[in-house]
Chains A and B, each alone.
Chain A
Amino acid sequence: MLFNSIDFAVFLPIVFALYWLLAKYPLRAQNSLLVIASYVFYGWWDWRFLSLILFSTIVDYSIGLALNKTSEDKKRKRLLWTSIVVNIGLLMFFKYFGFFVDNFVTAFTFFGAEIQPNNLNIILPVGISFYTFQTLSYTIDVYKRKLEPTQDFIQFATFVSFFPQLVAGPIERAKHLLPQFEVKRHFDSNFAMSGVYLIIWGLFKKVVVADNCAFFVNQIFNGSSSYSSAELVLGAVLFGFQIYGDFSGYSDIAIGVARLFGFSLMVNFSFPYFSRNIAEFWRRWHISLSTWFRDYVYIPLGGSRGNKSKQIRNVLIVFLVSGFWHGANWTYIIWGAIHAMLFLPLLIFKRNRTYVDQYTITYKQLPKIVTTFLLVTLAWIFFRADTATHAINYIIDICRFESLSVVTFYKNGKSLLFSVIIVVSILVMLAFEFKSVQKHQKEVILSPYMAIFIAILITFMGVFKNPSDFIYFQF
């Protein structure tokens, strides 16, 4: 079920009403309803994949209990590895099987051997990368004794499948979310209203900013060889706004929906396009994933301890793994590598924590913000391109500087209209975000009047006829 669909517009009020009607009953009733609602939400795409979530839930719940029962190190380690193998195994099979087979075939063909592979035509279950990471964090935290395992299967099932963040995050930590399922929820009107405003803001970013940008981005990336250098640059810039509007919009809606049910989810985006260097960008972009990698990959590898070469190795590993997490394609790995290359100089010259305590920005920092944005945009080309060759050709075509024509953006009435909508919507988004950054807010906080204004913009500037899927569903 998509957040921007009529199905969800019907589903949400029904679940909301039933959920708060059950508030007078024992906690289990509300949690059970959330599990059922989450399974309906997920099963709307393909009910067959529900078995995967259920399987993952049962395995990690059982392992959590087993970890609690034993203090024997060897046994605990074995249990942890069982969870890692099952979760990563599922991810590898469904997401990366085809990739590995294709690359093996390419490698063998290079050496003269001919192989006829069986690709199995595996369909990628929506959101598998998100919920496997979430369940994995639970087992690891229980193993490290940072968290008491839950005894209540329904609570754990709700934690794994909680529908607002099930398919595209934020990837919640058990330490943060699971305890919220263990206590009685009381309806807080202001908290719920803040959720409504966040849903409106998220919808604006998705339906107006991202989906309108997609109009040009798809055209330009699908036929990049026939566009001018200036159009290619603008195509990449617009993709930057598309993916931000799409993904952060989804996160905002997820956080907002969760608040309607009395839950607090972690902030996933903190105005990343106002970052002054790449290190800051990664503190503001997809925070739930970058902190996941920090806690479960970077720090176990040694983190910033040890000499510089070890630190560089750790950073490289994290960025490459993060790239690979996004998809079974070399383009994502290169995207991760580019970010590593941009991050490493900051690490080496100890500039990676420069802006940790400086949340607000000054106008003098504008060149740094623009430079960071352009570097991020360069990396986005690999993220969006179909293949690494496509991305390289795209960049080569930009560098030719053969033409600075931007006729694509005004060649007919429709193009001109989309261009105007895109410019207006991006300016509105950046203006609200800039105000929030300067006020030291973690999210855009709308007043009732502003919420109505944004809702009107969604109504008359949104893309409803041919909406795009959320990009991160494919991950």
Chain B
Amino acid sequence: MKLFLKKISALFIVFVALAMLMSFGSLYFLRHSSFYKSSFLVNQVPQDNFDYVILGASDGLTTLNTKVIDSVLSIEGLNLSMDDTSLSSHYLMLQHFLAEGKQTKYCILVSSASGFDTYTNTLNNNDYRFLMYTNRAYVTEYYKQFPDTRAKILYYSKWMPQLGVSYYNAELFYPSLMSLLKPEKRNHFDDKGNFTYPVLNKTNQEITEFKAVSVEFSNPYVARIMTLCNENNIELICYFPPHESKKAIIKSSEYHFINHSSTLTNTAYFYDEIHVNHVGRQLSSLNFAETFRTYKTND
């Protein structure tokens, strides 16, 4: 038995050492790349001061084009949205932005009506994109708070990176190989963090009816993001992007908001029910720029 334990221990130690080395290397290359937004912000965004940043999921990524807004208002913005995330990830992204010593006057928090009210205490699908910063306390704390297995894997990756890199090998290990060859490559977003959906051959129909959805801002992360903004002299604006069938109804709120949920009234502007297409994004960005201009003037 002793011989077996010796052999198996030797095998295990060599395997763990190799896997750990490869995983550290993988995360190192990703940390020095621009593949995901977390490292893009660190490596490819030299500016420290912005007029506004956009935080959101796929709707934030594809609805507001900062290049259009910046050209209309002559200001400087950055889109920090990541698809398949929720408000908890947006909070993490804002922490990450501030931890890099960057500042912004406005934070545009993009979410659907339900997103501002619904909270599930689970890791979001793309939260692994912060794994290369797992040595930072706010990232570790973020992973630690969730009870699900995936979050635990990411949390323990602080000490054993092979756990996270192996579990998310398609999302971390292989992109890291690409980052080694092309560190400047970005994963589906432009140099300002924007992405767009193509125009599909959808029907060209007027939208005459929207289902009303009332918003209470009951997701605890709205308050947490607000607190973080206040601590850093950032003004928070909640933005409701255009939706093909639902209209946000906000009766009274302690939060500033821009409600454009029912501004696009033709199906031709939509890629799917919750995302605008290339044309819809142009219109949404212009609409937003105008409202934002008024907002800034009144401010």
Q: Chain A residues in contact with chain B, CB under 8 A?
A: 6, 20, 187, 189, 192-193, 196, 414, 417-418, 448, 451-452, 455-456, 459-462, 464-465
The reply on B174 being an interface residue by CB < 8 A is yes
- Expressed in whole angstroms, the Cα–Cα distance for A96 and B234 within the complex equals 66
Given contacts A196-B11, A452-B18, A456-B19, contact A187 B170 (CB under 8 A): no
A193 touches B1 (CB 8 A): no
Shortest beta-carbon contacts, A-B, top 6: A189-B4, A189-B3, A459-B166, A464-B167, A455-B15, A460-B173
Encode contact with A along B1-38: 1 for CB under 8 Å, 0 otherwise: 10110011011001100110010000000000000000
The reply on B149 being an interface residue by CB < 8 A is yes
- Expressed in whole angstroms, the Cα–Cα distance for A418 and B22 within the complex equals 20
B4 touches A193 (CB 8 A): yes
Chain B: which residue is nearest A454 at the CB level? B15
Chain A: which residue is nearest B149 at the CB level? A6
Distance in angstroms from B248 CB to nearest chain A CB is 33
B22 touches A465 (CB 8 A): no
Task: Give the contacting residue for A452; candidates B11, B162, B166, B168; CB below 8 A.
Answer: B11
A456 touches B18 (CB 8 A): yes
Task: Give the contacting residue for B169; candidates A187, A189, A448, A459; CB below 8 A.
Answer: A459
What residues on B are CB-neighbors of A455 within 8 Å? Answer: 15, 19
What residues on A are CB-neighbors of B14 within 8 Å? Answer: 452
B22 touches A460 (CB 8 A): yes
A417 touches B174 (CB 8 A): yes
Identify 10 new A-B residue pairs, CB closer than 8 A, beyond the known A193-B7, A455-B15, A460-B173: A187-B1, A189-B1, A418-B170, A448-B10, A452-B11, A456-B18, A456-B19, A459-B169, A462-B169, A465-B170
- Expressed in whole angstroms, the Cα–Cα distance for A456 and B150 within the complex equals 21
Size category of the B interface is 20 to 34
Encode contact with A along B120-146: 1 for CB under 8 Å, 0 otherwise: 000000000000000000000000000
What residues on A are CB-neighbors of B18 within 8 Å? Answer: 452, 456
A-B contact pairs, 5 of them (CB 8 A): A189-B7, A193-B7, A452-B18, A456-B18, A460-B165
Q: Which of B7, B170, B173 has the most CB of A within 10 A?
A: B170
What residues on A are CB-neighbors of B170 within 8 Å? Answer: 414, 417-418, 465
What residues on A are CB-neighbors of B19 within 8 Å? Answer: 455-456, 459-460
Distance in angstroms from B67 CB to nearest chain A CB is 24
Task: Give the contacting residue for A456; candidates B1, B8, B15, B167; CB below 8 A.
Answer: B15
Encode contact with A along B211-222: 1 for CB under 8 Å, 0 otherwise: 000000000000
Chain A: which residue is nearest B2 at the CB level? A189
A460 touches B169 (CB 8 A): yes
Distance in angstroms from B4 CB to nearest chain A CB is 4
Distance in angstroms from B124 CB to nearest chain A CB is 14
Q: Which of A187, A451, A464 has the most CB of B within 10 A?
A: A464
- Expressed in whole angstroms, the Cα–Cα distance for A462 and B10 within the complex equals 23
Interfacial residues of chain B within 149-186, with CB under 8 A of chain A in the complex: 149-150, 162, 165-170, 173-174
Given contacts A6-B149, A189-B4, contact A462 B11 (CB under 8 A): no
Q: Which of A414, A448, A452 has the most CB of B within 10 A?
A: A452
A192 touches B168 (CB 8 A): no
- Expressed in whole angstroms, the Cα–Cα distance for A417 and B174 within the complex equals 8
Q: Which of B4, B150, B166 has the most CB of A within 10 A?
A: B4
Chain A: which residue is nearest B172 at the CB level? A460
Distance in angstroms from A419 CB to nearest chain B CB is 12
What residues on B are CB-neighbors of A192 within 8 Å? Answer: 4
B169 touches A20 (CB 8 A): no
What residues on A are CB-neighbors of B174 within 8 Å? Answer: 417
Distance in angstroms from B24 CB to nearest chain A CB is 13
Interfacial residues of chain B within 272-290, with CB under 8 A of chain A in the complex: none
Distance in angstroms from B21 CB to nearest chain A CB is 10
Distance in angstroms from B179 CB to nearest chain A CB is 13
What residues on B are CB-neighbors of A459 within 8 Å? Answer: 19, 162, 166, 169
Chain B: which residue is nearest A465 at the CB level? B167
Q: Which of B7, B11, B162 has the most CB of A within 10 A?
A: B11
- Expressed in whole angstroms, the Cα–Cα distance for A280 and B22 within the complex equals 42
- Expressed in whole angstroms, the Cα–Cα distance for A455 and B19 within the complex equals 9
- Expressed in whole angstroms, the Cα–Cα distance for A196 and B11 within the complex equals 10
B169 touches A461 (CB 8 A): yes
What residues on A are CB-neighbors of B173 within 8 Å? Answer: 460
Distance in angstroms from A468 CB to nearest chain B CB is 15
Given contacts A460-B22, A460-B169, A460-B173, contact A193 B8 (CB under 8 A): yes
Distance in angstroms from A2 CB to nearest chain B CB is 14
Distance in angstroms from A17 CB to nearest chain B CB is 10
What residues on A are CB-neighbors of B3 within 8 Å? Answer: 189
- Expressed in whole angstroms, the Cα–Cα distance for A456 and B173 within the complex equals 12
- Expressed in whole angstroms, the Cα–Cα distance for A369 and B173 within the complex equals 36
- Expressed in whole angstroms, the Cα–Cα distance for A460 and B19 within the complex equals 9
What residues on A are CB-neighbors of B168 within 8 Å? Answer: 465
B169 touches A464 (CB 8 A): yes
What residues on B are CB-neighbors of A414 within 8 Å? Answer: 170
A187 touches B166 (CB 8 A): no
Distance in angstroms from B147 CB to nearest chain A CB is 15
Given contacts A192-B4, A193-B4, contact A456 B169 (CB under 8 A): no
What residues on B are CB-neighbors of A189 within 8 Å? Answer: 1, 3-4, 7
Distance in angstroms from B7 CB to nearest chain A CB is 6
- Expressed in whole angstroms, the Cα–Cα distance for A346 and B169 within the complex equals 46
What residues on B are CB-neighbors of A456 within 8 Å? Answer: 15, 18-19, 22
What residues on A are CB-neighbors of B166 within 8 Å? Answer: 459-460, 462, 464
B162 touches A20 (CB 8 A): no
Chain B: which residue is nearest A215 at the CB level? B170
What residues on A are CB-neighbors of B4 within 8 Å? Answer: 187, 189, 192-193
Distance in angstroms from A38 CB to nearest chain B CB is 22
What residues on B are CB-neighbors of A465 within 8 Å? Answer: 150, 167-168, 170
What residues on A are CB-neighbors of B1 within 8 Å? Answer: 20, 187, 189
Distance in angstroms from B9 CB to nearest chain A CB is 12
- Expressed in whole angstroms, the Cα–Cα distance for A163 and B15 within the complex equals 27
What residues on B are CB-neighbors of A6 within 8 Å? Answer: 149
What residues on A are CB-neighbors of B150 within 8 Å? Answer: 465
Distance in angstroms from A416 CB to nearest chain B CB is 10
What residues on A are CB-neighbors of B11 within 8 Å? Answer: 196, 448, 451-452
Chain A: which residue is nearest B173 at the CB level? A460
Distance in angstroms from A399 CB to nearest chain B CB is 31
Chain A: which residue is nearest B170 at the CB level? A417
What residues on B are CB-neighbors of A464 within 8 Å? Answer: 166-167, 169
A196 touches B8 (CB 8 A): yes
Distance in angstroms from B89 CB to nearest chain A CB is 18
Task: Give the contacting residue for B15; candidates A417, A452, A461, A462; CB below 8 A.
Answer: A452
What residues on B are CB-neighbors of A460 within 8 Å? Answer: 19, 22, 165-166, 169, 173
Distance in angstroms from A133 CB to nearest chain B CB is 33
- Expressed in whole angstroms, the Cα–Cα distance for A460 and B150 within the complex equals 17
What residues on B are CB-neighbors of A448 within 8 Å? Answer: 7, 10-11
Distance in angstroms from A430 CB to nearest chain B CB is 22
- Expressed in whole angstroms, the Cα–Cα distance for A455 and B8 within the complex equals 13
